[in-house]
Structure 1
């Protein structure tokens, strides 16, 4: 997996979030020189298969761009049924994992973007879908939250003896906790770099944008926070600084995956979208010089009282971009799903574990 590095500096690249939470979350221009645009090579086709999402619905219909997984994806022994077995379908959990295959000419490369919450959900779904995870060319982690990296435990046993490159932000190892008033403190499980190295993953830490797959896939690195309304996580989300716990509004390790579908525009894939969906898309457009948004897939983190006020300006901005496909998943929240479906009825598609989205060049 070719990795080409760029010296672009995103907003707040070199400073950890401090106690001045409002100031830290205030949009600002990106400091220092930028490599703009990055030469992202167009592809002939991209296929994104959601291996893990919060939802699994076997009755959702497909169409020319969407292939759904039904009840026939798996079976389990069950003596209570005639024939001794029953259909299992797929696993849904509070997590996200996607398989991304890009084709340019006769060459196809497949990356794994996030791995879900539990050690076994992703590999269970991959097995039931007939996906051979030993054939992936690399792993990209959107950020360090445990509901996106938990499946690494299961993947470790499937990759074979070869070394597998893994692209992460250097702050993916950050200790974090949720300190909700009136509730018990919950420290989030934290990834171990030492353990991953010991299992044969080739960990590649990048703050800046990286081009993978001979220049066909862009990993954004840190994302500029330029909107006035996407201000990040509430005070309950905290990070360990080495001497104490402080509010971590930015989740600065949040990054997205971007593909340019020839003559059609950008596909942007997010994990949780902590940087804000609009910030992420605009950042991808600025980096690549491609103004057209073809598709937005993944978690948009618009659920719950802290984020629901962000729904209207997010939808206004996304509507102006006029994407052809919008698949909000994972942490988007039901209110945002309903609002996006109403505002973008031709583009919005309900996500579900096991769904494959196919976008081809014009």
Structure 2
């Protein structure tokens, strides 16, 4: 995925473009009194990170498991970290709260194991949102299936999540990625809702962006080795059109934007959310920004510059952001940047 050479057709495919479908903006997104985002799965788990007024860490004592080599035959296991992402989003408005699951991680058991170690009952979740179809965001659906209260659970996703994809790096074996099965999800009783356009959930308190406008000149998407099956051939898939984000408006603070991988581009996503809602202020950006690796490192400086100009109060880059981008964002936004970690809760309240 580090190979960036491509022809004119591939360059044209990754040029800025508007999202398909009739634009409805501003969307009537209801401001909330509080939003809490709990990172159930991320690439990193650091048990030594401390809490602050908006961040609560799982710590090293989470998850007591059997371990016969210790006195008492028990130990604390902490959180599982893996190359994937999952977050639990709870919004509170007018004395009522509701919870959504945003992505499910990579492996069948990491998300449900971490939720259990945090004392979270996933049976209380009122809906599932998939940011896109890549397997490191949908793998944990296996663990979710069969849990109490999961059957008939609404699942909001873009219709292209079923796309077959592969990584074809020249000189290496082709790697076909696991593809989501609509038949399997229907068979488990999920209420699958396919939407290209924006969706309002939880009584209008949560916005799912739908397909994101690509308006910046520098966020060109995936390099040529990332390919999709068109029905007749494998072709470069730079845009990952099924990529979408979750947005909440915290009263008096501004937008909280949660991304999975951010394949649409972090700046594109924020601008799209601003356009849809009519809310200019970005309060927080949390999730994967896909700025890791040689193919994406040239995108780091303009991305950091644009995000710095937006002056968010909290930035928690996770998952596929990459260490170079983490360092750049931490340097540019020292008061806003926070290290992500599996098992961390971020609570943002109204002004």
Does 2:345 align with 1:356? Answer: yes
Alignment pair present for 1:249 and 2:238: yes
CA contact (8 A) 1:258 1:268 kept: yes
Q: What residue in structure 1 maps to residue 274 of structure 2?
A: 285
- Unaligned 5+ runs, structure 2: 1-6
Q: Paired residue for 2:80?
A: 91
Tell me how far 1:160 sits from its aligned partner.
3.2
CA 1:161–1:232: 2 relative to 1, 3 Å: closer
The equivalent of 2:45 in structure 1 is 56
DSSP 3-state at the match of 1:258: strand
Paired position in structure 2 for 1:224: 213
Q: Which residue of 1 aligns with 2:58?
A: 69
Is it true that 1:130 corresponds to 2:119 in the alignment?
yes
2:3 corresponds in structure 1 to none
Contact 1:111 1:138 (C-alpha < 8 Å) held by counterparts: yes
Report the alpha carbon displacement of residue 162 of structure 1 after superposing the two structures with TM. Answer: 3.9
1:273 aligns with 2:262: yes
| Within-5 A mapping of 1:338-349 | 338-349=327-338
Structure 1: any 5+ residue segments left out of the alignment?
1-17
Hey, which bits of structure 1, 4+ residues long, moved more than 3 A?
28-33, 159-162
Instruction: Describe how 1:1-362 pairs up with structure 2 within 5 A.
Output: 20-29=9-18, 33-160=22-149, 162-362=151-351
* Residue of structure 2 equivalent to 1:15: none
- Deviations for 1:38-92, whole angstroms, at most 9, x for unmatched residues? 1100000000000000000000011000000111111111121111111100100
| d(CA) in 2 for partners of 1:175, 1:33 | 27
Provide the secondary structure at the position in 1 that maps to 2:61.
helix
Cα distance in 1 between the residues matched to 2:206 and 2:254: 13
> What SS is found at the alignment partner of 2:71?
coil
Contact 1:229 1:310 (8 Å CA) reproduced: yes
Instruction: Report how many aligned residue pairs link the two structures.
Output: 345
Q: Distance in 2 between matches of 1:90 and 1:154?
A: 16
| Deviation readout 1:93-123 (Å, 9 max, x if unpaired) | 0000000000001110000000000000000
* Separation in structure 2 between the aligned mates of residue 327 and residue 103 of structure 1, nearest angstrom: 21
Identify which range, 274-283 or 21-30, moves more after superposition: 21-30
More moved, 25-34 vs 350-359: 25-34
| Alpha-carbon distance change, 19 to 213 in structure 1, aligned in 2, over 3 angstroms | farther
Judged with a 3 Å threshold, the aligned counterparts in structure 2 of structure 1 residues 256 and 340 are, in CA distance, closer, same or farther, namely: same
| Secondary structure in 2 matching 1:83 | helix
Whole-angstrom CA distance in 1 between matches of 2:195 and 2:90 = 22
Could you say what the CA RMSD is over the residues aligned between the two structures, in angstroms? Answer: 1.3
Indicate the SS of the match to 1:112.
strand
Match of 1:6 in 2: none
Distance change >3 Å, CA 160–CA 32, structure 1 → 2: closer
TM-score between both structures, scaled by the size of structure 2: 0.96
Residue range with higher mean Cα deviation, 69-78 or 240-249: 69-78
Shift of 1:156: 0.4
